């Protein structure tokens, strides 16, 4: 079945550091790829998506590029702020199955002031 792997369980940074969270996927079809962010006490919030190879998604300074060759969708941000502290989830969407999302385990990002 479909799966999403996030290699970093937790990342600790200082403000203005560069952030990278690695996401690799395995899917039989051609899924859409998503990043969601979750703050304490809330549900996941949609950050952005990409639907085809080489498409770049971006929002709030975060970006990721759909790479079908390496089956990756790595999240990057050039300069993090303390307010970026949250859990980040990579997910793939299967439109043939009613848009169900398959999530990665999540990466907890802690940004020190």
Partner 1 sequence: GPKVLQIPSHQIIDMGQMVTLNCDPVSNHLYFYWYKQILGQQMEFLVNFYNGKVMEKSKLFKDQFSVERPDGSYFTLKIQPTALEDSAVYFCASSADNYAEQFFGPGTRLTVL
Q: Binding residues for partner 1, per CB under 8 A?
A: 32, 34, 36, 41-46, 49, 89, 95, 97-106
C-alpha dist (Å) from residue 23 to 20, 82, 112: 10, 22, 23
CB of 16 to partner 1, least distance (A): 27
Alpha-carbon distance 42 to 104, whole Å? 18
Q: Which is nearer to partner 1, 15 or 29 (CB)?
A: 29
Which residues sit opposite 3 in a β-bridge?
A: 26
Q: Which is nearer to partner 1, 32 or 80 (CB)?
A: 32
Q: Which of 32, 33, 23, 39 is nearest to 75 (CA)?
A: 23
Alpha-carbon distance 68 to 79, whole Å? 27
CB of 45 to partner 1, least distance (A): 7
Q: Under a CB-based contact definition with an 8 Å cutoff, are residues 94 and 29 in contact? A: yes
Q: Which is nearer to partner 1, 51 or 72 (CB)?
A: 51
Phi then psi dihedrals of residue 25, to 5 deg: -130, 160
CB of 47 to partner 1, least distance (A): 9
Q: Which is nearer to partner 1, 49 or 74 (CB)?
A: 49
CB of 15 to partner 1, least distance (A): 26
């Amino acid at each position: 079945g479909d799966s999403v792997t996030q290699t970093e369980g937790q990342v600790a940074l200082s403000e203005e550091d560069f952030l990278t969270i690695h996401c690799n996927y395995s899917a039989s079809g051609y899924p859409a790829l998503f990043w969601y962010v979750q703050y304490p006490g809330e549900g996941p919030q949609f950050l952005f998506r990409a639907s085809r190879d080489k498409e770049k998604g971006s929002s709030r300074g975060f970006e990721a590029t759909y790479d079908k060759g390496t089956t990756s969708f790595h999240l990057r941000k050039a300069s993090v702020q303390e307010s970026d502290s949250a859990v980040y989830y990579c997910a793939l969407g299967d439109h043939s199955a009613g848009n169900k999302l398959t999530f990665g385990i999540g990466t907890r990002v802690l940004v020190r002031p």
